[in-house]
Amino acid sequence: MTKIDIFSGFLGAGKTTLIKKLIEEAFKGEKLVLIENEFGEIGIDGGFLKEAGVQINEMNSGCICCSLVGDFEKALGKVLEDYAPDRIIIEPSGVGKLSDVIKAVQAVVTDKVCLNGFVTVADATKCKMYIKNFGEFYLNQIEYASTIVLSRTQNLSQEKLDAALALIREHNSKARVVTTPWSEISGKNILTAIEGDNSFTEDLLKEAEVCPTCGHHHHDHDEHDHEHCHHDHDEHDHEHCHHDHDEHDHEHCHHDHDEHDHEHCCHDHNGHHHHADEVFTSWGKETAKHFTKEEIEKILSALNDTEKYGFILRAKGIVAGENGEWIHFDFVPKESNVRNGSADYTGRLCVIGSKLNEAALAELFDC
């Protein structure tokens, strides 16, 4: 039996970091395959996962929920045939709708393959901002999750964590929500939360008139007697439950995002179903240009100017620095990280967002 776990989450929420933690702490001994679907022209994330010995199947030309659905089903079927893994981890685009990803995966479900967990990683510091500006996509990931793993909870006071949890619960009252900081909880206990009770996953599939095990659309499930993924609930560890994080109230991550107005809002007020490529665009470049850390930090700070560059949801890159060093950087609204890392064959950078001003971005990065 091959388990399929889908790890969704908005851009920069920490999906890849969580997957790495689970690979190191919870999936040891399992034959794993990771299928990534990056929204953007240039893939950046695959490197360290390859180093962990995980097969990478990157698809960078579009979004899993629209233009790549057919190719995705074919690729997934081939992975099952060629590798016969114990577990397939699917990491879809951060701007993909979880409901569409689930539908794409259902096409390959058989009596030897089961849908195991629909996980959404949500940045607890940005729930309000993303609901306000990108509700159609963000809320879909929340509503269809069987487990929601909150990231960056160590950066919130108890009051703000409670507010984030309340926002999540408004849109999904049944999912298990992991609120414990990741440094304080083991990957095994997170996996226990993910696999603790699959009834919600089955309820979601039944609401769509889809058999939870075979993936076929029908009304009468009586004749479908398939083997399910059975989990042991008795040792469910409450370490992942909602704890008091007052002592983690750090000053460096308390941002007020109310200044992000509705200019970029993609809420659907007319019942229209948007695809990601209707709302989000990406801009990427390969560059041999050398940068200093100070230059990169200045560029990332400038990306918060939504009027000049558009609403930047995510920027990431690997570029050459001085004296043979290489600079790795990540950006989400109001937060950035610049660090030294391993060399690449050339510099690469990618920016994803809404209403991007590509000419201004090219001028900013001088490439």
Determine what percent of the chain is predicted with pLDDT higher than 70.
71
User: Side by side, which strands form the sheet with 311-320?
Assistant: 281-287, 347-354, 311-320, 326-332, 335-341
> What span, in angstroms and rounded, lies between the C-alpha atoms of 139 and 204?
15
| Across 45-64, average pLDDT | 67
Q: Is a pLDDT exceeding 60 seen at residue 344? A: yes
Confidence grade of residue 39 (pLDDT, cut at 50, 70, 90): low
State the angle between helix axes of 158-171 and 127-143 in degrees (0 to 180), rounded to the nearest 10: 40
Among 71-80, 116-125, 209-218, the range scoring the smallest mean pLDDT is: 209-218
Q: Are 266 and 274 in contact (CB under 8 A)?
A: yes
Q: Tell me, what's the pLDDT at 61? A: 54
For strand 147-151 and strand 176-178, is the pairing parallel, antiparallel, or unpaired? parallel
SS3 string, 229-258, reads: CCCCCCCCCHHHCCCCCHHHCCHHHCCCCC
Question: Mean of the per-residue pLDDT values for the chain?
Answer: 77
Confidence grade of residue 120 (pLDDT, cut at 50, 70, 90): very high
SS3 string, 71-89, reads: HHHHHHHHHHHHHCCCEEE
User: What is the chain's length?
Assistant: 367
Q: Tell me, what's the pLDDT at 352? A: 85
CB neighbourhood size of 158 (10 A): 15
pLDDT digit string, tens, across residues 276-330: 556 778 888 899 999 999 999 999 999 999 999 998 988 999 999 988 999 999 9
| Across 69-98, average pLDDT | 82
Residue of higher predicted confidence among 78 and 145: 145
Confidence grade of residue 62 (pLDDT, cut at 50, 70, 90): low
Which of these, 188, 147, 138, lies nearest to 25 by C-alpha position? 188
> What span, in angstroms and rounded, lies between the C-alpha atoms of 81 and 100?
23
